[in-house]
């Protein structure tokens, strides 16, 4: 087992903290400006318990966290890059965030994960977004501010690509399930919570064209046909 991480100290590790018992007494909360004694996972008892209680996304997006984010992060809306302005461990100016399992850039603040596109909206507008944020080009790592826009859940779904179970490779088109039908390709679109049948066509391309025209009319600026 390696010793205390404090330079010049070879004391035995204490409680898996990375330091010996003597230096453990000097550890404080990693939250900037908090000098309360270390309790667990780098935090004092108050901050640790507060973090544990906040599980819901919108519980995390409060005024106090907004002020903290504005203080410790900088955001370049032309490049979509975040950098640390304040941090007890990471070098100032270092790029903040990394890709999470869903493909979004994620930044940890006070041991809680925040997706970068919501933080971008906060830092530019001054307020947490009311609703979802859509990436116009559908690239989840592209957080250039001009690529972000407010969206409802439905609008966000309109701007999605072809689903993996689409056998024809054309959005809004599927093979007719009715036997004996001469026109084999059906065009459908979902809007405002309802599925609209756009008719049956001789070719998949004709059906896709019908979907495209309907998407422009029903999905507005969020329409997408590929």
CATH 3.90.75.20 applies to domain 55-151: yes
Average pLDDT, the chain: 84
pLDDT tier at 129 (50, 70, 90 boundaries)? very high
Edge-to-edge strands of the sheet including 112-115? Answer: 98-99, 105-109, 112-115
| Terminal Cα-to-Cα distance of the chain (whole angstroms) | 56
pTM above 0.75, yes or no: no
Pairing verdict, β 98-99 and 105-109: antiparallel
Distance from C-alpha of 57 to C-alpha of 63, rounded to nearest angstrom: 13
- Quick one: pLDDT band at residue 85, thresholds 50, 70, 90? very high
| Mean pLDDT calculated for residue range 49-56 | 58
Per-residue pLDDT tens over the stretch 11-32: 777 766 667 777 667 677 766 5
Q: Domain ranges for the chain, please list them.
A: 1-53, 55-151, 162-222
Question: What is the per-residue pLDDT for 34?
Answer: 67
DSSP label of 222: G
Integer Cα distance of 175 and 177 in angstroms? 6
| pLDDT at residue number 121 | 97
pLDDT higher than threshold 50 for residue 55: no
Residue 106, beta-bridge partner list: 98, 115
Residue 54 has pLDDT above 60, yes or no: no
Mean pLDDT of 78-94: 92
Running DSSP on this structure, what letter comes out for residue 209? H
**Calpha distance 151→128 (Å, rounded):** 13
**pLDDT tens digit sequence for 185-195:** 888 888 887 88
Q: How confident is the model at residue 116 (pLDDT cuts 50, 70, 90)?
A: very high
CATH superfamily of 162-222: AP2/ERF domain (3.30.730.10)
pLDDT digits (tens, 9 = 90+) for 143-195: 999 999 999 888 888 888 777 777 788 888 988 776 666 678 888 888 887 88
**Average pLDDT of the segment spanning 103-119:** 92
Taking the C-alpha atoms of residue 202 and residue 187, their distance in angstroms, rounded to an integer, is 11
Q: Please state the rounded mean pLDDT for residues 207-211.
A: 91
CA dist list (Å): 40 to 49, 80, 90, 153, 223: 9, 33, 19, 37, 48
């Amino acid at each position: 087992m390696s010793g205390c991480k404090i330079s010049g100290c070879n004391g035995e590790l204490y409680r898996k903290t990375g330091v010996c018992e003597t230096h453990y007494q000097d550890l404080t909360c990693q939250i900037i400006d908090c000098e309360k004694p270390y309790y667990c996972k780098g935090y004092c008892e108050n901050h640790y318990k507060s973090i544990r209680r906040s599980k819901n996304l919108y519980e995390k997006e409060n005024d106090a966290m907004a002020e903290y984010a504005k203080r410790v992060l900088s955001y370049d809306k032309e490049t979509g890059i975040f950098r640390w302005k304040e941090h007890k461990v990471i070098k100032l100016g270092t790029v903040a965030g990394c890709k999470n399992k869903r493909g979004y850039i994620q930044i940890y603040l006070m041991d809680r994960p925040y997706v970068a596109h919501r933080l971008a909206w906060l830092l530019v507008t001054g307020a947490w977004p009311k609703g979802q944020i859509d990436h116009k080009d559908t690239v989840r790592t592209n957080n250039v501010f001009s690529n972000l826009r407010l969206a409802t859940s439905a609008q966000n779904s309109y701007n999605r690509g072809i689903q993996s179970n689409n056998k024809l490779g054309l959005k809004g088109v599927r093979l007719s399930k009715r036997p004996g039908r001469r026109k084999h390709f059906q065009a459908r679109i979902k809007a405002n919570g309802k599925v609209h049948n756009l008719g049956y066509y001789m070719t998949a391309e004709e059906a896709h064209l019908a979907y495209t025209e309907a998407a422009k009319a029903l999905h507005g600026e969020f329409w997408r046909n590929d």
